[in-house]
Amino acid sequence: MSSYLVKRIFTMIITILGVSVLVFMIIHLIPGNPINHILGDFATEESIRELEIRLGLDRSIPVQYFSYMLNAIQGDLGISYITGYTVVEEILNRIPITAQLAFFSMIFGSITGIVIGVIAAVKKNTIYDQLAMLLALVGISAPGFWIALFLILLFSYQLSIFPISGYNGLYSLVLPSITLGLGTAGSIARMTRSSMLDVIKQDYIRTAKAKGAGVYRLIFRHSLQNALIPVVTLIGMQFGYLMAGAVVTETVFALPGLGSLIVSAISTRDIPTVQGLLLFMAAMIIIVNFVVDLLYTKLDPRIQYE
């Protein structure tokens, strides 16, 4: 176990380093000179030179990379070219919204998904099963931005139940969480169904059945608990999907989170912010997957890593 842990942490660090190189390369491929953008139309040669030195852009790319990473390790991701805030400040300002959004859409997605999946598994091969699975597939197939527009039109504008946009407490997150959670719900429903069917087939369930355990008791006591193990992994994997979905969802609902920040940073060519955000999001995804992996071994005593 501990040697596995060491190995796992090692590959995690390698991956994060690789990601940082990749992000750095992508960012430096972005056409256009940030200097032009910052100084706008009225740049003089002098001011360009000065700014280059101030931003460290006069140094070679490897040097820039190493000094960037050295600072990043110390929690300094640079200063936004545009706003004058540090990138870390910008991220800390906005992370609560994205974290809450991810959390609640995960809750919504898991609960809806598990309920639908259980119904489908219990009523296997009936019309309920087929409807439930069709519904799950619709959740995966529907464009979130499109669903969001009609949720706003119906629930916020016509019925005035939820706020239209912006962030004003958790109430504002209901519609965005539903929008973002739909895809997750679909995936989890499908996973729950198939893993429950797998478990039901297994011997100990048959034994329990033979012993005369009630069907519902059986479902919840034995099969669901075991069936949830792969679902938990899926939840971990969905984290990345949620980060990407947040970009679209936050834009539609005008939520000041990380997703809308990256869109606006890209459109203003705010390189340090884009770079810091990509790095931060990737690191979060890697770490969450790592934690889920560990939890997975804790959850299922049958799984052992050598």
Partner 1 sequence: MKRRSFVFFTMLLILALVLSGCNWWGKSDSNSKEGSNREVVVGLVSEPDSVDIHRTSSTGEANTPLYDTLLKLDNDGNIIPNLITDYEVVGDGKEVIFNLKKDAVFHSGKPLNAEAVKLSFERLVASSPFSTNAGEIESIEVLSEYSFKIKWINQFAPFFINATTPFLAPLDVSVLNDKGDGFEKNPSGSGPLKLIEINRGDSIVYEPYKDFDWKGQEPGFDSVKFRFIPDEETRILEFKKGNVDVLLNVPYQYIEDLEKDSEVTIKRVPGDVLSYLGWNNKLPIFQDVNVRQAIALAIDRDSIIDNTLNGEAQAVFGPLPKAAFGYSEKIEKMATNKYTRDTDAAKKLLSEAGWNETNKDGVVVKDGKEFSVDLWVDDDPANQRAAQVIQSQLMEIGIKITISVKEAATIIEQTPNGAHEMLLWSFGWPDADVLNFLLFGKDKSKRLHYENEKIYSILEKGAIEMDQEARLKLYEKAQEMLVEESPFVPLYVKENITAIRNFESFEIHPIEGSIEWTSVKVKE
Partner 2 sequence: MLKSIEKNNNLLFVDPDPLDIKLSKNSFLNNFLNKIMKNKGAIIGSVILLFFIITSALAPIIAPYPVNEMNFDDSLQGPSLEHWLGTDEFGRDIWTRMLYGGRVSLLMGLFAVTISGTIGVTLGVIAGYYRKLDIYIMQFIDILMTFPSLLMAIAIVAVLGVGLTNAMIAVAISAVPSFVRVVRGSVLSIRETEYVEAARALGVKNWRIIGKHILPNVISPIIILATLEFGGSILSAAALSFLGLGAQPPNPEWGALVYVGKSFLSQAWWMTLFPGLAIMLVVLGFNLLGDGLRDALDPKSN
Interface positions with partner 2 (CB under 8 A): 11, 14-15, 18-19, 22-23, 26, 29-31, 130, 133-134, 137-138, 140-146, 149-150, 153, 157, 240-241, 243-245, 247-248, 251, 262-263, 266, 274, 278, 281-282, 285-286
Contact track, partner 1, 31-70, x by CB under 8 A: xxx--xxxxxxxx---x-----------------------
Binders of partner 1 among 5-24, rule CB under 8 A?
none
According to the binding rule CB under 8 A, does residue 254 interact with partner 1?
Answer: yes
* Shortest reach from residue 247's CB to partner 2, in Å: 7
Binders of partner 1 among 168-187, rule CB under 8 A?
168-171
Q: Select the binding partner of residue 262 from partner 1, partner 2, none (C-beta < 5 to 8 A, by kind).
A: partner 2
Our CB check for partner 2 shows the closer of 103 and 150 to be: 150
According to the binding rule CB under 8 A, does residue 302 interact with partner 1?
Answer: no
Q: State the number of CA atoms in the 13 A half-sphere of 33 facing the CB.
A: 13
Q: Select the binding partner of residue 83 from partner 2, partner 1, none (C-beta < 5 to 8 A, by kind).
A: partner 1
- 84, 203, 211, 215: residue in contact with partner 1 (rule CB under 8 A): 84
Q: How far is the CA of 275 from the CAs of 137, 203, 281, in angstroms?
A: 35, 52, 10
Binders of partner 1 among 134-153, rule CB under 8 A?
149, 152
Stretch near partner 1 under the rule CB under 8 A, chosen from 20-28, 63-71, 206-214, 257-265? 257-265
Q: Select the binding partner of residue 276 from partner 2, partner 1, none (C-beta < 5 to 8 A, by kind).
A: none
